[in-house]
Structure 1
Amino acid sequence: MTTATLPAASPTQAADAQTLIRQIEQYLATQTPRTAHRLVTKTTDQLIAEALRQPDQTPASAPTLAVPGKLLRILPDWTLTFARQLHAGTTRHITVAQHLELTALVIQQHGWARGRMRNTSGGRCILGAQYVLRQLGYGDDRTAAEAGRHLTNILAARGIQQPIHQWNDGHGRTQTEVLHLIREAANNAREIQ
């Protein structure tokens, strides 16, 4: 999937945790579902859910969290853990390419920050966007570290030896450049997978 098919942010759309989770789930739904075996038509997650459900239990819908965007911008990042618990409560496996695509989505939705992980208007630097995904339960530390290696490799191929956070914070850096780097790393990760 190319990054052009990610949902675009509307200027009037509230940037809240539930909206971000919904957009991440929409993106992941377009990915090829993984199944336990090629002859099985249900995904592994569906099979596990069915196995754990009691015979008389019907699937319950996940509770929703509606935090207004302005409030989310001033709340500390640890509150994202509560959104994760309300959404699913577990870590969802995603590929490195998906992690990078979703990192770009977070920056598109919340804006971009330079000099800090998150600014007061909700913008995120590259590492801050990765942190949001981790706190919401999308991927794990290994996935984020591997994504960081892909970003570093792209910078090295350009002759840049700075760590990602220093490059992100560079004087004159733009959100467009940041998104371009992330998407290039996502394409690179997709080719390797």
Structure 2
Amino acid sequence: MPTTTAALDVDLAELLGPLLVAEVEAYLATAARRQPPSPAPRPGALPGPAWYRIAQHLQADVTSPTPDRTDTVPAGPWWDGYPTPAPTLADRILRRRPTAPVTARQHLDLMDRYIAAHGWTQGRLWDGDGAVCILGAHVRVLAAGYGTPATAWQARLLIGNALGRAGHPVPVDTWNDSPGRTQHDVHHLLRTAATS
């Protein structure tokens, strides 16, 4: 029986999803070594791996942008022009968040728009005002329902290739947190990676 494209996409997502989770965990571990210790967890907070804590945070963050909000930017939402993720029958049955299919280049465009709308930060995934680092932008765009972990992983590969061509063969998170880095540099990198 021939393998269908849909089956390959599911297999690829199952393989690459853990890689993105591993990158988030590695980033959080590195950031924890660079920053003073966090305050003690709230009473009743559940321990767990970094991906679990991120998922909890996203579910508890009622101010995080989602496609049904249009008040994030005066000129229009950061996802303007992209289809709104709509739940399919499978999404309803499996009680999962709906996703809108996007390419890796479109994912980079959405990340660029998200950072333009909410701001950019260093040394953490996001801050209390909604500003994000590059990895935080990946997580927020995925949480809004655009693409899959496999899409985000392909986008990260495009970013890494763009950094290599520019003479910066370092991990994107190291590049993001380098002293002297600016939001303009980040936008330039994301646009270069999306068009290469």
Give the TM-score normalised by the residue count of structure 1: 0.56
SS class of match (1:27): coil
Output aligned runs, 1:68-79, within 5 Å.
none
Distance, in Å, in 2 between the alignment partners of 1:104 and 1:139 is: 15
Is 1:26 aligned to residue 89 of structure 2? no
Match of residue 167 from structure 1: 175
Number of equivalences: 123
Unpaired runs of 5+ in structure 2? Answer: 1-62, 90-94
Q: Which runs of 4+ in 1 moved over 6 A?
A: none
Pick which of 175-184 and 90-99 moved more.
Answer: 90-99
- 1:122-152 CA distances to partner (integer Å, 9 max, x unpaired)? 1100110110011111100110000000000
Indicate conservation of the 8 Å contact 1:150/1:185, yes or no.
yes
Structure 1 residue 24: deviation in Å? 4.7
Match of residue 99 from structure 1: 107
Match of residue 178 from structure 1: 186
Indicate conservation of the 8 Å contact 2:78/2:117, yes or no.
no
Indicate conservation of the 8 Å contact 1:114/1:168, yes or no.
yes
Match of residue 154 from structure 2: 146
Q: CA RMSD in A?
A: 2.9
Structure 1 residue 158: deviation in Å? 1.4
Indicate conservation of the 8 Å contact 1:15/1:109, yes or no.
no
Distance, in Å, in 1 between the alignment partners of 2:143 and 2:161 is: 25
- The one-letter code matched in structure 2 to 1:161 is P
- 1:93-118 CA distances to partner (integer Å, 9 max, x unpaired)? 10111100000011011100111100
Distance, in Å, in 2 between the alignment partners of 1:163 and 1:89 is: 30
Distance, in Å, in 2 between the alignment partners of 1:24 and 1:106 is: 6
Distance, in Å, in 1 between the alignment partners of 2:165 and 2:122 is: 23
- 1:3-43 CA distances to partner (integer Å, 9 max, x unpaired)? xxxxxxxxxxx9844135972542215xxxxxxxxxxxxxx
For residues 16 and 95 of structure 1, do their structure 2 counterparts lie closer, same or farther at Cα, with a shift above 3 Å needed?
A: closer
Distance, in Å, in 2 between the alignment partners of 1:25 and 1:169 is: 26
Unpaired runs of 5+ in structure 1? Answer: 1-13, 30-44, 53-84, 189-193
How high is the sequence identity, in percent, across the aligned residues? 35
Structure 1 residue 159: deviation in Å? 1.6
Match of residue 158 from structure 1: 166
SS class of match (2:130): coil
